[in-house]
A and B are shown apart, each in its own frame.
Chain A
Amino acid sequence: MTKRTIALCGAALLTLQQAASVSAVEIDIQGFIRAELAPKLTSDENPFNQNSNLFNGRLANRDSSLLGGAADTVIRGVPDGSGDANNWHNYFAMRTEIDFNAYFNDKWTGYAKVRGMYQPDTYDSFGDPNFYEVPFFNGNSSGSRLELAGSDYMLDLPAFYLDYADGPLWLRIGNQQIAWGESLFFRVLDVPNGLDLRRHLILDLVAEEFADERVSAPGIRGSVRAGNWEFEAFAQMFNPSIIPNENTPYNLIPSQFVVQQEQGFNEVKDDINFGARIQGQFGDLGMQFIAVRRTNPDGVFRWTTSNVNGDLPGIPGSGLALQATPFEVGNQGVLSAEEWFTYAGITRLDGVQALNRAIGEFPASALLGAFEVGDSFELASQELDLFFQLSGGLRGHIERRYREEDIFGVGANYILSAEPGSFLDQLVVRGEVTFTPDKTFTSPDLAQDFLVEDEWAGSLVLEKYHRFSNDFPATFMVLQYLYKSESDLAGRHLSGFGGSINNGPTGEDNFQAVAFAVQQAFPNLVWRVDLSVLYDLNGGSLIQPNVRWKPNNDYTVEVFANIITSDGGNNDIFEPLEWADELGIRLTWQF
C-alpha cells in the first residue's frame, strides 16, 4: 500500500470515526458465495500458453540458407516435457462477495465490499499457473491497492468508501469504481477506470457489463446539482488495467514473450487521474459532456532489454551482448520464423519491422551479427530462422509503459414518442463521441517510439422494451454500433491488423462493431433468457446465450455459453479468442 493510499484510507477512517461518534452506527451485512465454472465446448486450447502453442508437435520448416545457414525442420515441444494441455474447462473458481453498509447519520454513510476469489489449480498448464499475482502493489503481488493476492487466491476491497450528501452536494471518498456513459460494453465515455481481466476475462455475462472487471482505485468523486445540471468531478489514483498472467487460461500475450511491467508501473504509480462531467436533462433530451486527463490504464508495449545473460549455444560470451537485446535464449521462446510470423499476426504486430526495431534500436544486436532487413519478408525469415537455429529458441522481452492522455467527450440520449404500442414509441436513442488528441498506441513494430495519433470513438445505441405477448414481460432489446478511428476494442492500433505467416500486416482504416442483445424475462422473472451478440464488421463474433433461474431468494443458477467465431485473416478482434468456446455455469447462494 502506498503512503498516499494509506493517507487517504486514514482520512476516510478518521472521518468515519468522527461521524460514528455523533450517532449510533448501523451496519448491514449481506453477501453471496458462488461457484463459477466454464467447461470447454471444444478441445481447442489457448494458443498463447506454452503447453498449447500452435506449433507444439507440429513440423515447422526453417531456412537460413541465404545467410549461410541451412534448411531444417523443428518440432516444438512443451519445454518441461509435460505434454500438451488437455483441459476440460477454462475456468473454475469460488467467489464470495460480502457487502457492508454503514449508516452514520443522514449525511454520512459508508459502503465496503469484500471480494474473495479462490481458483484451485485444476487447470492443466505449463507449471503452476499464477492466476492472481500481479507486480503492482503490496510487495509486487497485487493488482490494486486494497488487495492481497496469491497464485490461486485474491482478496480485495473493490469498494471501500464513505458517502457524504448535503443538499445538492455529494462526495464519495475512498476506493471506488467510476462508470460513465450510457453505452453498454462499448466504452466510449466509460473512461475513468481500466479493466481487471484476471478472473474470467470479459467472458462473464454480457448483461453484467464490466461490473466485475472495472478496476477501482482510491479517489474522491463528487457532484453538485444546479437546476437541470449536475457538475461532477473526480480525482483518482492511477491503477493499471490488469492483464491475465502467462500460462493462465485466458492469457492474451504469447508466452514466448516476457512482459516486464514493474519499471513502467513504478514511473506512474503515483499519478492521479482527473475528470469532470456536466450532465443535464431538457425534456426528452439528456446531454453530458466530459473531459478527462488520465494516465491510460491499458498501457503500451515495446521491446526492452532482456537483462538475461545467457550464451547462445556454442558461442561463449554471447550472453553479454544478448542481455542488451530484447531476447534471451530459452526453449520457451520462438523456434521458427513460421512461429514468429504466425504469432505476430495473431497479436496484431508487424513481424518484419518488429525484427528491425529489435535490432536497430538495440545496438548490441549488431554484436551478434544481426542486421536490419528493410521491408524484406524473405530476408527477415532467413535471419530469424538463423538465430532460432543457433539459439534453440529465443524468448522476447517487452515492457509495458503508460502515457497520459486527454479525452473530451459528449453524450446524448433521447426517447422517441410515437403511436402508443408501436415499435418506435419509447425507443431510446443514445449517442456518445470522444476525441483523444495525441493518443499513444503500441506500435506494431514494438518500437521505442510509440505511435501517437488523434483518435475518435463513437457509439450509437437503440434501446427498446417491447411487449410481444400478454403472457410474458416486455422484451428488452438493444442494438449498438461502435466506431473507432485508430484502434480496436482492446486498444490495439489498426495498422497491425492483417498479418500472417506469409505476410506483414495490411492494416485497417477503422474499427467498427455492432452489438445486439435481447433479454426476455418469464412471468415473475423466475426465469430469464438472454442472447447477446457482438459482431466485428471484419468478420468475428461473440455469441452468448444465457439462461438464468432464480427459484427463490437464496439461490440463483445461471448457464450461458460463449461461442466465438472468426473468418480468419487476423483482422477482427475475436480470432485470438476463437479457441475459447465454453459453457458458463454459476451457482450462487446469497445470504
Chain B
Amino acid sequence: MHIKRYTTDWTRRAFLQKTAVGVAGAGLLKPLWSSMAHADDMTKAYPEELLSIEAYTKGAFSAGDMITADNVDQVAELLDPLTVMQIRDMGRKIELVDSTRDITRLFPHEYLEATLRNKGKAGLDANGNVIVAETGQPWIGGNPFPEPTSPEQTFANLVMSWGRHDDSVYAIRDWDIAPNGKLSYQYDFIWAEQNTVGRVASDAPYIQGEEDKLRYQAVWFTSPADAKGTAFLNTWKYDQREFPDLVGYLPAFKRVRRFPTNQRFEPLVPGITIFLSDAWAAGDPMLTWGNYKIVETKPMLGAVSGNWTGDVDKNWERGVHGGPDGQTFFDTKMELCPEVIVVEAEPVGYPRAPVSKKRVYIDARNMMFIGYVTFDRRGEMWKTFEPSFSQYATNDAQLLDGDHPAWSWTHVHSHDVQSNRMSRFLQAKQMSGGHKSVYNMGSDIYSRYLTPQAIRRFGT
C-alpha cells in the first residue's frame, strides 16, 4: 500500500502560501535549483503526487491514457479553461505521458549549464532591465532568475532568450482552420532569431558591439504565392522600455521599408491568428507591459515532452484530429508539470491594444511557458496560445544541436476562441525553398537571415 507523505491538500496549501508571499521559485519540498546543484533529480523538490499523473489523480489516469470529452472534468483543474473547452466541446484529445524527472530534458544543454553557472548573478536595474548585478552589464546567459522572487523576475526568464539557443532558424508550416473546421489558409514561413547577449554556446556572452541590443528576429513567408517574400525584421533593444526597430519587405513594393513597431496585435497575413505580440508569450519588450502579478501557482498539464515526431515523420509533421472536420488539433502529448506559475500582465505601453491583459502559465522547472491566454478589452478570454516542447530525441531518432540532443518547441495551437479560428503550426525539418530548422548555426545567421539586405534577397 502506497502511503502518501504529502496529500493533495498539503500541496494546494503549499502553493497558496507561495503565491501569497510572492515566492515563485521552483520546488515545494526544497528549492529545485539547489537540488540540481547537487545533481539530484526532481524527486527531492516535489512530492510524488506532483510528479505522477497516476498519483495525482489517484489512479484515474496514467501515462498513455487519453484525455477526452468523457473524462476531462476529472482533470479540468490541471488545464486552462479554454483547453477544457476544446476537449469538452470540440473533440480534442490529449495523450498523457510520464512527467519529466530529468531536468536536462527540459533545456538545451548549454542553456541549462549557463542557468546553473550564472544562478544568483542576475538583478533588475532601476529601469527594470535584467543585468548582471555585480557589474551592471547585460545578461550573460541562461535563465537569469531560476528562483524568481517577483513576477517581473519570473517573466524575465521568458524574455531574455526566446528559443534558448543563441541562434535559431525555424522552418514553420501553418494551417489555419475556419470555424467550420475546414482548412482555410496554409502558410509556410521561416522564423530566425539571434540573441546578441546572453549567449550560452558561444565563446563570449555578447556579440561584440551589439551589447545595446537583445536580439535580431526575422520572419518571412515562403508560401503561398501571394504571401511569398513578405518579410519583417525586428531589432530588439536591450532596454525593454523601447520598441524594436522594424523593417519589412512587401512584395508589392519590391523594397525594404521601415515600419512603425507598436502595432503588434495584428495578424501578419490573412486568416492567421498569430500576432507579433504572441511570440513566446513575450513578443513585446517586457517593460512595455506592466502590472505584472503572480495570480496562482499550481500543478498543470503541459506539453513539454514526447512531442517530437522525428522518428515517425521525416519532416517532423504530425497527426491531427478534432473539430468539425477532424483537423482542428494536432496530436499532442502532455505531462503533469508539478509547479506552474501563473503570471498576468497588462499592455500599459499600448493604450490602443485590443488586449486588456495576458495570462501566462510558466513551468517553474525550466521557466518556459506552457500556455498563454489573452483577454479582450471587455475582459473576455480571446485567444489561447498553447506551445508544445520536447527534447528532440526518441528511442529511434535524435537531432543534435551541437554535441547534445536538441530541445525546442515542436508545435503550437493559437486559437481565437471568439471567432473560433484556429492557427496551428509546427516546426518542420525543412520548408519550401530549402530552408531548414537549425540551431546554433553561428554568426552566419545574421548575414543570411537578419539584415535588411537578407529580407530584400528573400523578397520576390
Contact = CB atoms under 8 A, between A and B. Distances in A.
Contact of A471 (B266, B270, B354): B354
B255 A179 contact: yes
Nearest to A417: B243
A428 B226 contact: no
Nearest to A166: B447
A576 interface: no
B232 to A, nearest CB: 13
B61 interface: no
A196 to B, nearest CB: 14
B260 A225 contact: no
A56 interface: no
A141 interface: no
B59 interface: no
B354 A32 contact: no
Nearest to B347: A420
A24 to B, nearest CB: 9
A590 B432 contact: no
A281 B269 CA distance: 27
A404 interface: no
A211 B267 contact: no
B266 A28 contact: no
Contact of A415 (B183, B251, B258, B456): B258
A180 interface: yes
* Most A-side CB within 10 Å, residue of B245, B251, B376: B245
Contacts of A473: 263, 265-267
B266 A553 contact: no
B322 to A, nearest CB: 20
Contacts of B245: 281
B88 interface: no
B448 A590 contact: no
Interface stretch (B15-23, B131-139, B217-225): B217-225
B349 interface: yes
A6 B180 CA distance: 53
Contacts of B354: 467, 470-471
Interface residues of B, number: 59
A466 B352 contact: yes
A572 to B, nearest CB: 26
Contacts of B254: 177, 179, 209-211, 214
A168 B447 CA distance: 6
A34 B225 CA distance: 13
A525 interface: yes
A172 interface: yes
Contact of B223 (A28, A109, A159, A209): A28
B419 A32 contact: no
A101 interface: yes
A552 interface: yes
A99 B447 contact: no
B448 A106 contact: yes
A31 B225 contact: yes
B62 interface: no
Contacts of A58: none
- State the main secondary structure of chain B at its contact with A: loop
Interface string A501-516: 0000000000000000
B248 to A, nearest CB: 11
A453 interface: no
A314 interface: no
Contacts of B271: 524-526, 550, 552-553
B404 interface: no
A539 B103 CA distance: 72
A556 B185 CA distance: 12
A195 to B, nearest CB: 13
Interface in A198-223: 207-211, 214, 223
B257 interface: yes
B252 A225 contact: no
A489 interface: no
B186 interface: yes
Given A99-B228, A207-B252, A209-B253, A420 B350 contact: yes
A535 interface: no
A551 interface: yes
Contact of A32 (B223, B226, B262, B453): B226
B352 A170 contact: no
A167 B255 contact: no
B184 interface: yes
Contacts of B262: 420, 425-426, 465
A413 B270 contact: no
A179 B253 contact: yes
Contacts of B269: 525
A464 interface: yes
Nearest to B447: A167
A553 B186 contact: yes
A503 to B, nearest CB: 42
B176 to A, nearest CB: 8
B54 to A, nearest CB: 42
A30 interface: yes
Contact of A99 (B255, B257, B460): B460
Interface string B233-245: 0000000000101
Contacts of B261: 415, 426
B141 interface: no
* Most A-side CB within 10 Å, residue of B178, B262, B350, B447: B262
Contacts of A471: 354
B270 A464 contact: no
A230 B453 CA distance: 8
Contacts of A74: none
Contacts of B226: 32, 556, 588, 590
Contacts of A552: 178, 182-185, 271
Interface in B281-337: none
B273 interface: yes
Nearest to B226: A590
Contacts of B444: 106, 167
B173 interface: no
B434 A109 contact: yes
B451 interface: yes
Question: Which A-B residue pairs are the 10 nearest by beta carbons?
Answer: A103-B434, A421-B351, A426-B260, A179-B254, A525-B270, A467-B352, A30-B225, A28-B432, A208-B252, A470-B354
Interface of B: 178, 182-186, 222-226, 228, 243, 245, 251-255, 257-263, 265-267, 269-273, 349-354, 376-377, 416, 419, 421, 432-435, 444, 447-448, 451-454, 456-457, 460
27 contacts: A97-B225, A103-B435, A109-B433, A165-B447, A167-B444, A168-B447, A179-B254, A181-B255, A207-B252, A209-B252, A286-B258, A427-B260, A428-B260, A464-B260, A465-B260, A467-B263, A473-B266, A474-B266, A523-B419, A524-B273, A524-B416, A525-B269, A550-B270, A552-B185, A553-B224, A556-B226, A588-B226
Given A109-B433, A170-B457, A474-B266, 12 more contacts: A28-B433, A103-B433, A109-B434, A170-B456, A426-B261, A524-B267, A524-B272, A524-B273, A525-B269, A526-B270, A551-B184, A591-B225
